[in-house]
């Protein structure tokens, strides 16, 4: 069989040009999607609350995004008197850039054949793969912390402090949940993770506990409800971006949605099979075609859209946690669960290897499926009895309750005595 030039790796110059083109395309698409996800948020929230949402600018309000953009560009930039100017200006840029950069290693489709060679639909196939977005998104906390600190405003500072503590806490759980994925996949390269999932079943089924921990941590990492302690408008006005206006505020707004998009892409790639089309081998086998590239890109976009919708849906359903609930959930629940799960997954893999079950086979899939059904059952039936979100409505030990009540009674009698 003669070698088809469209199925070969491109030479240096075509590779470079293709990479630049991919960067431009990804950036443009990304900005458009981020802009429209703000509209989606407003529309979905309106529908959930029996309202109509924005519907005045263009058909169904579709040009609302442009109107908002123009408004933010022409608004006055207010600069509070006592801010630390360099960091105040730098913070929105950091928040936004870090959310954007993490996208470089996300594969978004099957390879695209061109006359100059086969182009992988990923901006940078970095060998460190999944570690790169983890590192970059954790840098994103600097944007928020610096914004909070440089604003010279106690509410902003509190928002920034909360955000840093929260993001650092949940990063631990997130990283450990990714460890389970890496154990099973045996690889950190995201295209490899996608390929292995296409062959051996999606990780959301194989590693559902890790998927759950990752999902909850993703909500916390993006500062979304129910973890939006950094903004908490009822307590902190607008938290870290209280002092920002016009385009600088808009940058934080864009960064929030960009973070959501990145978190969705990470979740989709690690747990929902990336660009893999379910129930068919057509997309992953045989030579690359343009149709395959487009179809896989569409399915990837659809998966991300579904997860973005889930983000929005959760936001307009759940109330915010209290701060101690947030911290105890992160450290006392998510972290031990993620650690224990790593032990369970590696033990399961070892046992299956000893039993001689091949990786990626049907038996392997079913064994992990059964294991995860049992574990999810345990997680939600046993652990969720008042311990998941503690302690206001938890079952504390009876002795502790008695002690707390005694203290409260003693206090109130002292207070009453002072009044008399």
Residues of span 274-293 touching another protein by CB under 8 A: none
388 binds another protein per the rule CB under 8 A? yes
CB nearer to another protein: pick between 21 and 408:
408
Burial category of 70 from C-beta neighbours within 10 Å (exposed 0-12, middle 13-18, buried 19 and up): exposed
* DSSP-based three-state secondary structure for 189: coil
324 binds another protein per the rule CB under 8 A? yes
Q: Quick one: which of 278, 386, 409, 414 contacts another protein (CB under 8 A)? A: 386
Peptide linkage before 226 cis (omega within 30 of 0): yes
**Sign of the CA dihedral 7, 13, 14, 16?**
positive
Tokens 């200006």 label which residue? Answer: 89
Q: Return the structure tokens found at 300.
A: 């990837």
316 binds another protein per the rule CB under 8 A? yes
Short-list 135, 326, 298, CA closest to 225: 326
x/- mask, another protein, residues 29-48, rule CB under 8 A, reads ---------------x--xx
Candidate ranges 17-25, 51-59, 121-129, 263-271; the one touching another protein (CB under 8 A): 51-59
374 binds another protein per the rule CB under 8 A? no
Short-list 203, 140, 224, 138, CA closest to 175: 138
Q: Quick one: which of 57, 134, 237, 389 contacts another protein (CB under 8 A)? A: 389
Which helix H or strand E contains 260, and what residues bound it? helix 246-271
How many binding residues for another protein (CB under 8 A)? 31
168 binds another protein per the rule CB under 8 A? no
x/- mask, another protein, residues 66-105, rule CB under 8 A, reads ----------------------------------------
Dist CA 306 CA 310 (whole Å) = 6
57 binds another protein per the rule CB under 8 A? no
CB nearer to another protein: pick between 37 and 150:
37
CB nearer to another protein: pick between 27 and 380:
380
Closest approach of another protein to the CB of residue 318, in Å: 6
Q: At what angle do helices 131-150 and 85-101 cross, to 10 degrees?
A: 160
Dist CA 9 CA 117 (whole Å) = 5
**Sign of the CA dihedral 189, 194, 199, 204?**
positive
407 binds another protein per the rule CB under 8 A? yes
Closest approach of another protein to the CB of residue 380, in Å: 5
Q: Which residues contact 155 (CB under 8 A, 6 or more apart)?
A: 236, 237, 238, 239, 242
Closest approach of another protein to the CB of residue 253, in Å: 23
CB nearer to another protein: pick between 93 and 306:
306
408 binds another protein per the rule CB under 8 A? yes
Closest approach of another protein to the CB of residue 389, in Å: 4
Closest approach of another protein to the CB of residue 225, in Å: 12
Q: Which residues pair with 67 in a beta bridge?
A: none
Which helix H or strand E contains 314, and what residues bound it? helix 290-315
CB nearer to another protein: pick between 85 and 400:
400
Q: Are 265 and 106 in contact (CB under 8 A)?
A: yes
378 binds another protein per the rule CB under 8 A? no
Q: Which residues bind another protein (CB under 8 A)?
A: 44, 47-52, 55, 313-314, 316-318, 324, 380, 384-386, 388-389, 391-396, 401, 404-405, 407-408
């Amino acid at each position: 069989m003669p070698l088809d030039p469209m199925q070969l790796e491109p030479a240096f110059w075509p590779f470079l040009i293709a990479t630049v083109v991919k960067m431009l395309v990804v950036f443009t698409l990304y900005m458009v999607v981020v802009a429209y996800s703000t509209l989606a948020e407003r529309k979905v929230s309106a529908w959930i609350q029996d309202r109509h949402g924005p519907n005045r600018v263009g058909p169904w309000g579709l040009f609302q995004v442009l109107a908002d953009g123009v408004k933010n560009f022409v608004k006055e930039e207010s600069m509070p008197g006592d801010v630390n100017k360099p960091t105040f200006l730098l913070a929105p840029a950091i928040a936004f850039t870090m959310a954007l950069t993490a996208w470089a290693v996300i594969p978004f489709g099957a390879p695209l054949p061109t006359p100059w060679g086969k182009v992988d639909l990923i901006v940078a196939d970095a060998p460190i793969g999944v570690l790169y977005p983890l590192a970059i998104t954790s840098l994103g906390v600097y944007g928020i912390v610096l914004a909070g600190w440089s604003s010279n405003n106690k509410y902003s500072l509190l928002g920034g402090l909360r955000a840093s503590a929260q993001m650092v806490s949940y990063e631990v759980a997130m990283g450990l949940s990714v460890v389970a994925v890496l154990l099973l996949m045996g690889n950190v390269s995201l295209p490899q993770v996608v390929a292995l999932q296409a062959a051996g079943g999606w990780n959301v089924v194989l590693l559902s506990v890790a998927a759950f921990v990752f999902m909850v941590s993703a909500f916390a990492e993006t500062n979304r409800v129910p973890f939006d302690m950094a903004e908490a408008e009822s307590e902190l006005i607008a938290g870290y971006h209280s002092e920002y206006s016009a385009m600088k505020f808009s940058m934080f707004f864009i960064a929030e949605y960009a973070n959501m998009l990145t978190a969705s892409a990470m979740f989709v790639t690690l747990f929902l099979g990336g660009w893999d089309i379910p129930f068919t081998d057509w997309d992953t086998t045989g030579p690359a075609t343009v149709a395959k590239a487009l179809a896989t890109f569409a399915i990837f976009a659809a998966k991300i859209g579904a997860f973005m919708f889930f983000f929005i849906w959760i936001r307009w359903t759940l109330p915010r946690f209290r701060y101690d609930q947030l911290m105890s959930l992160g450290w006392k629940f998510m972290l031990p669960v993620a650690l224990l799960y790593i032990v369970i997954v590696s033990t399961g893999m070892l046992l299956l290897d000893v039993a001689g079950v091949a990786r990626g086979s049907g038996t392997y899939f079913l064994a992990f499926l059964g294991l995860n059904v049992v574990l999810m059952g345990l997680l939600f039936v046993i652990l969720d009895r008042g311990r998941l979100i503690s302690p206001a409505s938890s079952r504390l030990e009876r002795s502790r309750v008695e002690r707390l009540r005694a203290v409260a009674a003693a206090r109130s009698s002292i207070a009453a005595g002072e009044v008399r």
